[in-house]
Amino acid sequence: MSKNQYKTLTRHLKWLDKFVYQIMVDPSIKIAKNNYSLTLFYLQIVKLHTSFGGSIELIKKGYGVDAMIIVRSMLNNLINCKWIMSSKQKTKAKNFIKYNFVLRKRFLDIAKEYPKQKSHFLKILTEEKEIISSYKKVEELFTKDINKWSGISIKRMAKEANLGWDYDFIYNLASSLEHSDITSLNQHIESIDDANKLFRFKGGPSTSYIMESGIAAIKYMGEGTELFIKVFKLNKTHKNKLLKFARRVSKTLKKD
C-alpha cells in the first residue's frame, strides 16, 4: 500500500466519522419513550459509530489486523440493525432487550461455578432471586435456541439482511484473526532463514490489513448511516452527501 493510498483512506475515514456524528445529533430526530425499536436502533448506530472510531485509531497506528477484529463487531452490529428493522421491528426489538435477562442468568450460573471468586460476582449473587424471576418470565421467548437472542444463527440473520457475502467472507476472515489462529499468527512471521533454520518475527505496526479493514469499516458505517437516514426520515441533503462520498471513495480507490 502506497503512502498516497494510506492518506486517501484515512481522509475518507475521518470524513465519514465526522459526518455520522453530525447527523446523529440532527434536531429533527424524535423518539417516543415507548418506541423500543427506534430507541434500540439509535443505540445500535451509536455503538456502530463508536466501533468505527476505534477501528480508525488502530488503522492510523498501523494495527490493521486488530482493526479488522473491530470491523467484525461492526458487521455483527449492522446485521442486528438490518435484521431488526426489516420486519416485525417491535417484536424483534423487545426480544433483543429482554435477552438481557438470559445473559444475566448466564453470568449468575457462572458465578455459582466459582465460589472462590465470590468477591468478583458479589452484586450479581445478591440479585439472584430477581435475576431468576426475570429469567423465568422471558424464558419461553427463546425456546428455539437459548444461546441466540433471535432464535436463529447469525449467518441466517446476515442472509436475511442481505449481508450474506459479508458474513461468508469478511466475518469469517475477521473471526480467524480474532481467534488468533494460524492465519492471524502468520502475520508476525517476517521471513524464514532456511539455512540456519530460524524464523524472523515481526511485531508492532505494519501495513497488513490496513486497506482491507479501512474499506470494510467504511462500508459498514456507510450502510448503517444510510439506514439511519432512511429510518429517521432525515433531510435529503444528508443522503446526497453520503452518496457523493460513496462515489468519491469508489473513484479514488479505483484510481489508486
Q: What domain range is 65 assigned to?
A: 3-88+162-199+208-255
d(CA 132, CA 148): 19
Q: Domain count of the chain? A: 1
Is residue 82 domain-resident?
A: yes
Is residue 153 in some structural domain? no
Residues of the chain with pLDDT under 50: 256
Task: Give the model's pLDDT for residue 105.
Answer: 95
Residue at grid coordinates 492510523: 60
Let me know if residue 168 belongs to a domain.
yes
Position 255 scores a pLDDT of 56
3-state secondary structure of 114: coil
In a domain, 118, yes or no: no
Contact 200, 188 (CB under 8 A): no
pLDDT of residue 212: 94
**CA 254: distance to chain centroid?**
26
Judged by DSSP in three states, 191 sits in strand
Its pTM stands at 0.91
* Domain annotation covers residue 29: yes
The answer to whether residue 68 sits within a structural domain is yes
Collapsed DSSP state (helix, strand, coil) of residue 124? helix
Residue 150 lies in a domain: no
Indicate whether 27 belongs to any domain. Answer: yes
Provide the β-strand partners of residue 199. 192
Residue 232: per-residue pLDDT? 96
Q: Say how far residue 62 (Cα) sits from the centre of its chain.
A: 20
Give the per-residue pLDDT at 254: 63
52: cell is: 468505527
